[in-house]
A and B are shown apart, each in its own frame.
Chain A
């Protein structure tokens, strides 16, 4: 990011000299010194790698139904045990994890895009500020979980008819989570825009003839990226939790898409015979959300301009 690289003013005594580092390189250095954040990063990398590569290496056909092996505890053949239809749980967790993680990332990408658009417009154009912030306040007062349940219930049938059961539900869950979670980002971006738009560098850009669009994207937006990055990271954890909550309430993905929340939902009737069933998907949700929170907090500290290096 050339625009944000630090210019070293004046001359430093040679013994204090060090190679010039960009803001992002500095942040990375601080981040790598944060033990919890690094633990989070490794756990997350492991899980992501497992669900991306795992299904290719672990060759257990996930859909195979075998009633003679139903509800078995963990064994060498089935490391995480089997479900009521005798399907291998490790294989299902790996497949379902792909869906859970994709939902989290896509929903947050949508929320961030919406939030940055609204925030930038409201912060930059004074005329739009009041109406847009009113809308934001109304959205912030919406009861999110109840509304999610209602919307998904109401629109599930018509959307699955149009896009098919798997893609339809995916699109719907991502859209609804995205539309109900952009507000904090919008406020964050608006606040930064308000404080930055009257700074000298923006005035200078305007003096050399830059138009509004260029000022917004090229000059102000890069300065807003670090708080947005932190919000996005933590948002992914939140979105994964929301998706698994929906699936757990039976309003998420259909039974053949074994997201982690769905696996927990299905396991409920068999807790007495198969207590192993909910443990592994539950642990997966826990570990991924925990590691994302660790990373988010580490990023917040690392990107804080007041930090000491």
Chain B
């Protein structure tokens, strides 16, 4: 087992290095000047511009900058933001809790919704319940989250005036009232993302259950007189969940990427919103740090999925 994980890690690390290199090269070779805003300002004299350039290390060739940036990143230092002049690590640390509060909770909601209705729809195959669930799942992952978000805003903020649509991250939960406002402001973004995640996962749960329900061991369980609930939950579900669990792990990076859009719709000051804003400002250090975080999420959760699969399914041998 240890050797298996070690081998996977040995593949994951070069992948991350390769991605960081590709990304840095794209940013460095792009025909856009990170100091364009200074360059356009006639009040900045050329020598001052050169000094800024040197202070930011931009006078060196990019492969050297890449090596410096990479070694600093390994020590947790992503550099200084061009726009806010504070450390990128601090900026991201400020925003990450907001993203996690929305995306993390939404994913948990999605999982909590998907598993029971996926089971229900598989157990009652071709019933009305199954058709309703399948239609919901199809619709759920065909509708773009920004459209669901806008529709919810129109209904609950503009027509009914029940919920705010701008997320206030300065809100501190101190009493019941502020807890209520926190719930009110997060319910729409969580609902939008949760519905989408639930739609994707429901299909997986349903099809895995459908694969397992006709198998011999399920029939054996029934034959020895176990109740239907026990047969479904203790026998079929446990085996069906093995691939579902790995898919849940594999889905985490996509869920974070989906947050980019939702944070934009509801003005949640998370890392997705920071990415879009920094791209607009040409704030290269922040952009490269966030893209690296997303890349690391993909690699790490691929690894997690592999390991989970090997742990949960004894038929998989650690090769």
- B287-315 interface mask toward A, CB cutoff 8 Å, 1 = contact, 0 = none? 10011001101110010000000000000
* A245 B261 Cβ-Cβ under 8 A: yes
A275 at interface, CB cutoff 8 A: yes
Q: In residues 8-31 of chain B, which contact A (Cβ within 8 Å)?
A: 11, 15-16, 18-19, 22-23, 26-27, 30-31
Kindly provide the distance from the CB of B15 to the nearest chain A CB, expressed in whole angstroms: 5
Q: Which residue of A lies closest to B288 (CB)?
A: A150
Contact across chains for B261 and A248 when beta carbons are under 8 A apart: yes
B139 to chain A: which residues have CB within 8 Å? 286, 290
CA of A236 to CA of B131, assembled, Å:
25
On whether the beta carbons of A153 and B299 are closer than 8 Å, the reply is: no
* Chain A positions within 8 Å of B302 at CB level: 141
- Contact at B27–A146, with CB atoms within 8 Å? no
| Residues of B with C-beta under 8 A to A170 | none
| Contact (Cβ within 8 A) A264 B158 | no
Chain B residues near A241 (CB-CB < 8 A):
144
In the assembled complex, which residues on chain A have CB atoms less than 8 Å from the CB atom of B18?
Answer: 138
Q: Which residue of the partner chain, among A145, A149, A267, contacts B150 with CB atoms under 8 Å? A: A267
Q: Which of B146, B150, B287 contacts A245 (CB 8 A)?
A: B146
B277-290: CB near A (< 8 Å → 1, else 0) gives 00110000001001
* A146-B257, A150-B27, A249-B261 known; A268+B150 contact, CB < 8 A: yes
Interface residues of A in 236-255 (CB under 8 A from B): 237, 241, 244-245, 248-251
Contacts of B22 in A (CB 8 A): 138, 142
Q: Are A147 and B146 in contact (CB under 8 A)?
A: no
Tell me if B's interface is mostly helix, strand, loop or mixed: helix
B158 engages A272 (CB within 8 Å): yes
- Asked if A14 lies at the interface with its beta carbon under 8 angstroms from chain B, I say no
Instruction: Assess whether B86 is interfacial by the CB under 8 Å rule.
Output: no
Is B142 part of the contact surface with A, judged by Cβ < 8 Å?
A: yes
Given that A141-B295, A264-B146, A271-B153 are known contacts, is A249 also in contact with B264, CB under 8 Å in the complex? Answer: yes
Residue of A nearest to B159 (CB): A275
**Are A282 and B138 interface neighbours, CB within 8 A?**
no
The answer to whether A138 and B19 have CB atoms under 8 Å apart is yes
| 10 tightest A-B CB contacts, nearest first | A143-B294, A154-B30, A282-B147, A290-B142, A289-B142, A145-B257, A158-B31, A275-B154, A286-B143, A153-B279
Given contacts A141-B15, A143-B295, A285-B144, 8 further A-B contacts (CB under 8 A): A143-B257, A143-B297, A143-B298, A146-B290, A149-B275, A149-B279, A293-B138, A294-B138
16 intermolecular pairs with C-beta atoms under 8 Å apart: A141-B16, A141-B298, A143-B257, A146-B257, A147-B26, A147-B291, A149-B276, A153-B32, A155-B30, A157-B32, A244-B144, A248-B261, A250-B280, A271-B150, A282-B143, A293-B138
Chain A positions near chain B (C-beta within 8 angstroms): 36, 137-138, 141-147, 149-151, 153-155, 157-158, 237, 241, 244-245, 248-251, 261, 264, 267-268, 271-272, 275, 278-279, 282, 285-286, 289-290, 293-294
Which residues of B pack against A, CB within 8 Å? 11, 15-16, 18-19, 22-23, 26-27, 30-32, 138-139, 141-144, 146-147, 150-151, 153-154, 158-159, 253, 257, 260-261, 264, 275-276, 279-280, 287, 290-291, 294-295, 297-299, 302
